[in-house]
Chain A
Amino acid sequence: MLLSDKGMSEEHKMFLEGIKKEKRVIKISQVILLLVFFGVWQLAANLKIIDTFLTSSPKQIFDLLLKLSENGMIFKHLWVSTQETIVGFLLGTTIGIITAILLWMSERAAKIMEPYLIILNSLPKTALAPVIILWAGAGFSGIVVTAAAVSVVITIMTVYTGFKNVEEDKIILLKTFGATKLQILQKVIIPANIPIMISAMKVNIGLSWVGVIVGEFLVSKAGIGYLIVYGGQVFKLDLVMTSVFILAITAGIMYFIALWIEKKVIKY
């Protein structure tokens, strides 16, 4: 594992070459799959096999995308939703992690809260969206709180479970040096759970988008969710499809940012 490049045998080179090749094949196949999907869709539209009034078509989406980019409209809506998602995500994740820390601090509190957390977790949070929006306000704040609500409980449960699963001897070791509870938290519990927190974040990005879109369906005057609802109401399916397309790309980008952060943070 500590071999340098120079000491590499022919066989090892072949092995690495094989891995590279396999990766390339997978990448190319992924691109082909995407192209085939859009190609077939467009072809079916051209041949009138599908009704583009209901399904739209890649060309229509692309044209609309151009048009909406020219007048900057799409960016305005995208920015609104992205802001809501980021704030909702940060809120849900931070509150989730802080609550998990507090529960770790007091095992009794954790035991008391356990059944409520389990019930809250199995409840579809979006069912509460209308109520949340009534309480938090029919606009940015309501949507952000909805987004946060979707991810907060699952974050608490995942992160707290991670905290509890830290090997007892790793904690005892620190105690033998006379560590305080706060030091145990700082030097063992949290660092041991960085991978779990990051994977929770990856999940939360998607969940926050769910919350934002649902919130926008209900109240907003702008945003991707608003565009989708509006497009549906006026039967402009290409607007709906274009919005979904943009949503997919943005959520994808955010996910890759999280992956990048994960690589930067976890070096071992």
Chain B
Amino acid sequence: MRDISVELKNISKKFHTIQNETMAIDDISFKVYEGEILAIVGPSGCGKSTILSIIAGLVKPSGGILNIKNKNIGFMFQKDQLYEWRTIFKNAVIGLEVQDKLTQNNIQKIEEMLENYGLGSFKNHYPSQLSGGMRQRVALIRTLAVEPEILLLDEPFSALDYQTRLTVGNEVGTILRERKITTILVTHDIPEAVSISDRVLVLTERPARIKKEFNIVFNTMETNRTPMKCRQSSEFGEYFKNIWEEMDVVE
């Protein structure tokens, strides 16, 4: 059995406002194994972002137990959240800057990553000069720069247009697999979940509970699996149909 990286046990969360209280999550339990890519799908407003915030320690759960082996967490949002006053390079290193890890070695690594992801010549540009896809790539580099052991992705591609979303999704999915980073990907795009992840959790409507779990295995691709190849594989449609049926009942 592989090592467990993150474990949620009976986690629940209520949000309190003056008008009312909202039960966002009700008794969620799941494990994420090391190096695994887990996708969470569910209707919007069901509590997916809340789950990530709890794992990241940004929000305290109302009840339950959270076990995390490693506290070094990277978070990527729907919007790239690049700081418009910083150049691309300065944006990419902000995490290192905050953690006081701006070593020559790390700077060089960032420069290499920018180069590898086709952003080398945009190093000194400002975010407003880049396309949405490029910006999201910078956001990924910024996240990977601090070498997180766990990556939380909150609908990271949903602000991109369809074409870019496929490309960036493919790139990111490939990188995650190469680097064997433990990842939780929240999305409401079923093809995205199937093509990128090893396992898909389907959540109910709010308050979120786990409705169904799917292991995603592509027998044709034991090694060098990429999201694009998965999309073209014959098993893809079956997974899509099964998950979609689960989601559809909910709607």
What size tier do the contact residues of chain B reach? 20 to 34
By a CB distance below 8 angstroms, the chain A residues around B58 are 172, 175-176
Q: How many residues of A contact B (CB 8 A)?
A: 22
Interface centre among B58, B98, B126 (most CB of A within 10 A): B98
By a CB distance below 8 angstroms, the chain B residues around A192 are 83, 85
**Stretch touching chain A among B20-28, B74-82, B210-218, B228-236:** B74-82
By a CB distance below 8 angstroms, the chain A residues around B185 are none
Residue of B at shortest CB range from A183?
B98
User: Is the CB of A95 closer than 8 A to any CB of chain B?
Assistant: no
Name the interface residues of A97-134: CB closer than 8 Å to any CB of B.
none
Residue of B at shortest CB range from A194?
B85
Interface flags, A182-224, vs B, CB<8A=1, else 0: 0100011001101000000000000000000000000000000
Residue of A at shortest CB range from B122?
A2
Cα distance A192–B74 in the bound complex, in angstroms: 23
Contact (Cβ within 8 A) B99 A177: yes
Contact (Cβ within 8 A) B84 A268: yes
Name the interface residues of B86-130: CB closer than 8 Å to any CB of A.
86, 94-95, 97-99, 126-129
Contact (Cβ within 8 A) B75 A176: yes
Interface flags, B201-224, vs A, CB<8A=1, else 0: 000000000000000000000000
What is the CB-to-nearest-CB distance from A12 to chain B, in angstroms, rounded to a whole number?
18
Contact (Cβ within 8 A) A173 B77: yes
Contact (Cβ within 8 A) A177 B81: no
Cα distance A194–B95 in the bound complex, in angstroms: 21
By a CB distance below 8 angstroms, the chain A residues around B77 are 169, 172-173
Residue of A at shortest CB range from B121?
A2
By a CB distance below 8 angstroms, the chain A residues around B129 are 1-2
User: Is the CB of A59 closer than 8 A to any CB of chain B?
Assistant: no
Question: Closest 4 interchain pairs by CB?
Answer: A176-B75, A268-B126, A177-B95, A177-B98
Interface residues, chain A, CB within 8 Å of chain B? 1-2, 167, 169-170, 172-179, 183, 187-188, 191-192, 194, 266-268
Q: A169-B77, A170-B81, A177-B95 are in contact. List 4 more A-B contacts (CB 8 A).
A: A176-B56, A183-B98, A187-B83, A187-B94
